[in-house]
Amino acid sequence: MQEISLLASLGVPDADAAVQELIRVYEESFPEQIVCYYIEGSYADHSYLATSDIDLTIVFQYAVRKRACVQLYHQYINDEWSSFLEDLTAFCQQKWHYLLPETEVDRQHLRSLCERALDFEEHFLTHYKLYLLAQLQSEEQESRRFAHWIQEQLPLDDAEIREVLQSSSSKSTKSGLHLE
């Protein structure tokens, strides 16, 4: 079992132990994917009460460059599409520099990549839709709020998603809950 030490105490030994255990669980569940953890709210500004909750923010690693996306996909998902994404990057970005290839053999390879790209898009959108639906129907208000925000930023035009959004919107109106 990995030992977790905090850079600073929260001032309450039981709270320190709870945060250490939570960090240990996250580290085991998401190895090498988390950049840092930090405390917000009443424990951060030392205004906590005995009944205060602990607001722990977890910062996950994300890709800054396109190449990092492919590497992270391969590292964490590593499904039948990993080699396609590596091939796409190797040819389109590195060999052809985003230009149309000059040889007929390379142009044929580009056509093949384009055909496979449509299948990958369908694969991705199928999984994304399942994720979005799960978040929209989650028991956690913050998960639902985040899913609404994502849908506003990058809307997925899907009848089932619209139906769930409509349903959750009418439920929140009746209960006085606002998800924005």
pLDDT at 154 over 60: yes
pLDDT at position 114: 96
124 assigned to some structural domain: no
Q: From 153, 144, 135, select the one nearest 172 (Cα to Cα).
A: 144
121 assigned to some structural domain: no
Contacts of 78 (CB under 8 A, 6+ apart): none
Q: Residues 9-17: contacts with CB within 8 Å, 24+ apart?
A: 10/39, 10/43, 10/48, 10/54, 11/43, 11/46, 11/48, 12/48, 15/43, 15/54
Range of the domain at 33: 13-60
Q: Are residues 28 and 2 in contact, defined by beta-carbon separation less than 8 angstroms?
A: yes
pLDDT at position 98: 94
56 assigned to some structural domain: yes
143 assigned to some structural domain: no
165 assigned to some structural domain: no
65 assigned to some structural domain: no
| Residue 57 β-bridge partners | 38
pLDDT at position 96: 97
pLDDT at 180 over 50: no
Q: What is the mean pLDDT of residues 108-126?
A: 96
pLDDT tens-place string over residues 55-96: 999 988 777 787 788 988 888 889 999 999 999 999 999 999
pLDDT at position 174: 54
Q: How many CB atoms lie within 10 A of CB 106?
A: 14
Query: What percent of the chain has pLDDT above 90?
Result: 61
pLDDT tens-place string over residues 50-62: 899 999 999 887 7
Read off the pLDDT band of 6 (50, 70, 90): very high
Contacts of 34 (CB under 8 A, 6+ apart): 26, 27, 58, 59, 60, 61
45 assigned to some structural domain: yes
Work out how many domains the chain is built from and give that number.
1
More confident residue, 134 or 168: 134
Mean pLDDT across the chain: 89
Tell me, yes or no, if the pTM score tops 0.85. Answer: no
107 assigned to some structural domain: no
